[in-house]
Structure 1
Amino acid sequence: MAEAPALRTEGSGVARVLVLHGWALDSSVWAATQLETNLDEFTYAYYDFPGYGPGETTGRHSAEGIDGMARGALSAADALGWDSFALLGHSMGGGTALRVATMEPDRVSAVVALTPVSPFGTPFDEATYAGFQSAYADPAPTLGGLAPHLSPAQLQNIASRSQLLLNKEVWDAYLANWSSAAFGSELANFQGPVTLAYGDSDSFVTKDYLAETASALPNANLVAIRDAGHYPMIEQPIQTVRLWEDALSSKEK
Structure 2
Amino acid sequence: METLDIKGFPVETHIAGSGPPLLYLHAEQYVEQVRPHLDALAKTWRVIAPRHPGYGAAAGAADLRSVDDLAYLYLDLLDELKLDDVVLVGASLGGWIALEMCVRNRARLSKLVLVSSVGVKFSGREERDFADLFYMSDVEAFPMLFADWQRHAPSYAAMSTGQLEELARERQMLAHYGWRPYLHNPGLKRWLHRVDLPTLVLWGEADGFAKPSYGQSLASALPNAELTVVREAGHYPEIEQSEAVIRAIDAFVQR
After TM superposition, the score normalised by the length of structure 2 is 0.80
Correspondence 1:240 to 2:245: yes
The Cα of 1:34 is off from its aligned counterpart by 3.1
In 2, Cα distance between the equivalents of 1:164 and 1:140?
20
Correspondence 1:202 to 2:207: yes
Q: Is the 8 A contact 1:21 1:29 kept in 2?
A: no
Q: Which range moved further: 122-131 or 101-110?
A: 122-131
**Partner in structure 2 of residue 132 of structure 1:** 133
**Partner in structure 1 of residue 86 of structure 2:** 85
Uncovered stretches (5+) of structure 1, i.e. residues with no partner:
none
Report sequence identity in percent.
24
Correspondence 1:188 to 2:193: yes
Partner SS, residue 230 of structure 1: coil
Correspondence 1:142 to 2:141: yes
In 2, Cα distance between the equivalents of 1:17 and 1:130?
30
The Cα of 1:126 is off from its aligned counterpart by 11
Structure 1 counterpart of 2:241, one-letter code: Q
Structure 2 counterpart of 1:42, one-letter code: W
Structure 2 counterpart of 1:230, one-letter code: H
**Partner in structure 2 of residue 2 of structure 1:** 8
**Partner in structure 2 of residue 49 of structure 1:** 52
Which of 6, 30, 37 does residue 41 from structure 2 map onto?
37
Partner SS, residue 99 of structure 1: helix
1:156–1:125 CA distance, 2 compared to 1 (3 A): farther
Partner SS, residue 5 of structure 1: strand
**Partner in structure 2 of residue 64 of structure 1:** 65
In 2, Cα distance between the equivalents of 1:226 and 1:45?
27
Total equivalences in the alignment: 242
Supply the RMSD in Å over aligned alpha carbons. 3.2
In 2, Cα distance between the equivalents of 1:61 and 1:25?
23
**Partner in structure 2 of residue 22 of structure 1:** 27
In 2, Cα distance between the equivalents of 1:154 and 1:192?
33
Structure 2 counterpart of 1:16, one-letter code: P
After TM superposition, the score normalised by the length of structure 1 is 0.81
1:189–1:171 CA distance, 2 compared to 1 (3 A): closer
In 2, Cα distance between the equivalents of 1:163 and 1:117?
25
Residue deviations 1:70-92 (CA, integer Å, cap 9, x gap): 11221222232214411111111
In 2, Cα distance between the equivalents of 1:97 and 1:162?
28
Correspondence 1:163 to 2:178: no
Uncovered stretches (5+) of structure 2, i.e. residues with no partner:
1-6
